[in-house]
Chains A and B, each alone.
Chain A
Amino acid sequence: GENVEQHPSTLSVQEGDSAVIKCTYSDSASNYFPWYKQELGKRPQLIIDIRSNVGEKKDQRIAVTLNKTAKHFSLHITETQPEDSAVYFCAAYNFNKFYFGSGTKLNVKP
């Protein structure tokens, strides 16, 4: 089955700085890669996603890049704000299943 690894497990940045979270996957059949933000005790919320036929996607301060050859994808958050503080999960999708990374706790210091 698919194995998704996510780094770092914790990330602390100053407000206004950029944050980058990286994930790798093992199964080349994975073709959809969503990123979720989860606040404490709440449901994961989709913040951005990318499909395997696209190399990069951007939505305001958030961007995702995908390198299919290397089997890794990254989340980039620019101009971070305190409300960006949360746990972020990457996931890979194939054969009707989602496989999640271990999560990154992002702390944005004001």
Chain B
Amino acid sequence: GAVVSQHPSWVICKSGTSVKIECRSLDFQATTMFWYRQFPKQSLMLMATSNEGSKATYEQGVEKDKFLINHASLTLSTLTVTSAHPEDSSFYICSARDRDRGVQETQYFGPGTRLLVL
């Protein structure tokens, strides 16, 4: 149980295009999903917290107009990188918390999406 998927796993795009990444909880309902960014050989940096049915909460320094987050259902959150540029190239990982599990803090990670902007 507690499986989180991400799609796509790999994406290469041209500079200026927008890219949408999906994060799904497959066997549980997630009221909260987190979006992280990870540069090579670095730690996970929290970008935003996504709550179902409400606006995402962005971390300081993360442009909300650049990284659009939508959490329209209890099993799906999307991250759209708008007008992507080479510096947006990174590994994006989502995680989700199971609404119905007793241990509320536990988060389950998706497999990540590697974005390369040319």
B111 at the interface (CB under 8 A from A): yes
In the complex, chain B residues 23-62 whose Cβ is within 8 Å of any chain A Cβ: 32, 34, 41-46, 49
- Total interface residues on A, CB under 8 Å, equals 19
Enumerate chain B interface residues (CB-CB to A < 8 A).
Answer: 32, 34, 41-46, 49, 91, 93, 105-107, 109-112, 114
Q: Are B109 and A44 in contact (CB under 8 A)?
A: yes
Q: Are B106 and A43 in contact (CB under 8 A)?
A: no
| Cβ-closest 8 pairs across A and B | A43-B109, A32-B105, A100-B43, A100-B44, A102-B43, A43-B111, A93-B105, A103-B43
In the bound assembly, the distance between CA atoms of A101 and B42 in angstroms comes to: 10
Q: Are A42 and B112 in contact (CB under 8 A)?
A: yes
12 A-B pairs with C-beta separation under 8 A: A41-B91, A41-B112, A42-B111, A42-B112, A43-B111, A45-B109, A46-B106, A96-B32, A97-B34, A97-B49, A98-B34, A98-B46
Closest-CB distance, A102 to chain B (whole angstroms): 5
Enumerate chain A interface residues (CB-CB to B < 8 A).
Answer: 32, 34, 41-46, 49, 89, 93, 96-103
Contacts beyond the supplied A43-B109, A99-B46: 5 A-B pairs with Cβ under 8 Å = A34-B106, A43-B93, A43-B112, A100-B46, A102-B43
